[in-house]
Structure 1
Amino acid sequence: MEYEAKRPSDASLWFMIVAAATEKEGVFMKKRAFLVTVLLALALTGMTNFPKTEADAQNQPPLNVAFVWHQHQPFYKDPDSGIYLLPWVRMHAVKDYYDMAAMLTNYPGIRATFNLVPSLLLQLEEYAAGKAVDSYMLVAAKNAQDLTDADKDFLLRRFFDANWNNVIKRYPRYWELLQKRGTSGDDAEIARAISTFSVQDFRDLQLWFDLAWFDPDVQRDDPEIKKLMTKGQGFTEEDKLIVHDKQLRIIGNVIGIYKKLQESGVIEIITSPYYHPILPLL
């Protein structure tokens, strides 16, 4: 997105503000606001003869500010097992990657630039084709009645991987499950929770990890997901299939919407070397 402001020097001053789209909700907004403030402060510090009136400002060339959204993920696929070790491509695809592009269709006058790392695109393609399976997905898909102690340990340790105050606390049942497990997450606490969590508790936890990571627009506007959000607890194995199918549908549309917006001139796509680089952008 480009914004114009007036400045006194003859040459246009360009700032590239790189905002990682994979930050967790709330924290991301604070970091972005801080980064914008710092860069603008640096710009103003270097200015001399700052215009004192609106008339003076009208005679100055514009300050061009470019916002570049850097979307990256490391390559999570284990070369031996073929299993993705972490789920963050899947989770951020349903929370960030699709919606960040889709919302631009409502603002035809806005332009944006997206940096898409090749290792991310490959993983999106594999998820969309049904070829990617991550360790979290495997445990979430397992019937709650058939969970082993190792599965339960994994769920209790890893399925609260979201910001507790900004995400988990928003959903009463999810927050209840965290309180029931305990907030230290030490071995004694996990062992106790394995014995105190019911089958339904574990099934609800399997669902809430995925539900909480959906984009708020999906939670609000998709009829099936909205129904599950309202239901809140007492989920069934069939509910899990609905969530899994919805995730793959969204992921399958991610690359396509960026292609469509690029062809229509709304966005520009840039890229960087294959594996998870940030330094070349700075």
Structure 2
Amino acid sequence: MVAAPQPDWNKSALTDSQRAQIAQEHKLMEGIEKPEQDVRRKPEFATGRPPGDTRTAEQIIEDNPILKNLGHQKDINRKSAYLMVGDWTSNNKDPQARADAAFNAARVLNYIDTSLSANGEHRGKAHDNGDLEGITSSGDARRGTPAGMWKDFTEQGYTALRDDHRLDATNDSHVRGDGTNKDNLQWASGEAGKRTWFIPGLSNILLGIGDSDSGLVGAIKGAKAGFDKTRVDGFDHALASAKRGDILGVLKGYANAVKNNEATPQVVKSALNTGGS
């Protein structure tokens, strides 16, 4: 026997206890013009629009780019999302339920989009930019990205959202510290940069590409940033020493460049620090 499909979230189907909980949550939204954009508190459950919010689903979607830009890739899990927050699309013929669903979805997405990195750092350009980063070309959501957290939300509900307002930690080398994906060029360059730490000029250039924005222009800027870092770290000192015939100066410049390379193993850095002291 096939089980009946689970209904999408709908305020009209709530119990008295759930309505009382929502009423308390709505009180905390009083005086806030667009409370779905208030990310100071983690959403704990779906509430729908508070009293007095008469916006339509279309207006709420327009007010919240992160919802407006939400894709249809595999791991966006729209069907599962509708179970959690309601269906905000035109498939839902109840305009009030649609608007409540759009409010719920926008509230969760805004909280995710404004998350800090897993280390608690501001995510720079990736912060609150209206783009749910982390979806691969095949539609998979990488862990440690906003898309990965959204996927977890669609599967686990509100417990997937973190109290500390951070993205999840990940060991996925395709994910940057700010929760965005690396292209294959960036990923390969970054991995090569880690392995060539003993050639600091090459390593820094490759690491710079690995940390760069997508595309050729980003890669060129990243490579230049890596080369400039090498110059500051010790290359310029080594070059000037070479012109003077100062072999010790050349070695010192090289050692400093290696020591300041983020990919250099800690044991090597410690040895260089000891040797230079």
TM-score (norm 2): 0.25
Q: Which structure carries more relative contact order (alpha carbon 8 Å, separation 6+)?
A: 1
Q: Which structure: larger Rg?
A: 2
Structure number with higher strand proportion = 1
